[in-house]
Amino acid sequence: MIISVGADHGGFELKDSIVNYLKKSGHEVLDNGTFSSDSVDYPDFAKLVVKDIQQEKARFGILICGSGIGISIAANRHPGIRAALVTNKEFAKLSRQHNNANIIVFGGRFTSFEEAKEYIDIFFITAFEGGRHLNRINKIEV
């Protein structure tokens, strides 16, 4: 699959580990930065990943900031984007089954690489259930 990835300085280290993991797993990665620990603004990186999803250049996105909160808020401002801040395995599953999330979000200061790998694997293989959940996600769009 093609995966678009982006992070601010709070997520930079975790992002690099994830990019390597995705490549080793056979995925194509669109790495939108950031590429150092210099301070940057998370909405800029949310926008780059959002664009890849909206333009269907990538199937899923991965966004990381320090807490995961700011970059989730930024991504979810955009039409067609359902970015889920995932902190456990059940959220990884439910965000796909019930919310058809297209971006998985982590807090780089709160989620380890080992945890993130598990959540990503679950996120990628879990299908959206549709049905009543489709009506609900359609109502999200304004």
Work out whether 69 is an interface residue with ligand RB5 (CB under 6 A). yes
Return all residues near 64 (Cβ < 8 A) that are at least 6 apart.
Answer: 6, 7, 8, 10, 11, 12, 14, 15, 18, 71, 105, 106, 107, 108
Work out whether 42 is an interface residue with ligand RB5 (CB under 6 A). yes
Determine the interface stretch with ligand RB5 among 47-55, 64-72, 89-97, 121-129 (rule: CB under 6 A).
64-72
Checking phi first, is residue 136 left (phi over 0); if not, alpha (psi -120 to 50) or beta?
A: alpha
d(CA 137, CA 135): 6
Residue 82 CB, nearest distance to ligand RB5 (Å)?
18
Residue for token pair 């019930």: 98
- Residue from 14, 60, 63, 66 touching ligand RB5 (CB under 6 A): that is 66
Strands 28-31 and 83-85: unpaired
Applying the rule CB under 6 A, the residues between 10 and 39 that interact with ligand RB5 are 10
Work out whether 6 is an interface residue with ligand RB5 (CB under 6 A). no
Determine the interface stretch with ligand RB5 among 19-27, 60-68, 92-100, 112-120 (rule: CB under 6 A).
60-68
CA 5 vs CA 22, 35, 132: distances in Å = 10, 12, 30
Closest CB to ligand RB5 among 9 and 96?
9
103 close to 53: Cβ distance less than 8 angstroms: yes
Determine the interface stretch with ligand RB5 among 45-53, 62-70, 81-89, 111-119 (rule: CB under 6 A).
62-70
**Which residues form the interface with ligand RB5 (CB under 6 A)?**
8, 10, 42, 65-67, 69-70
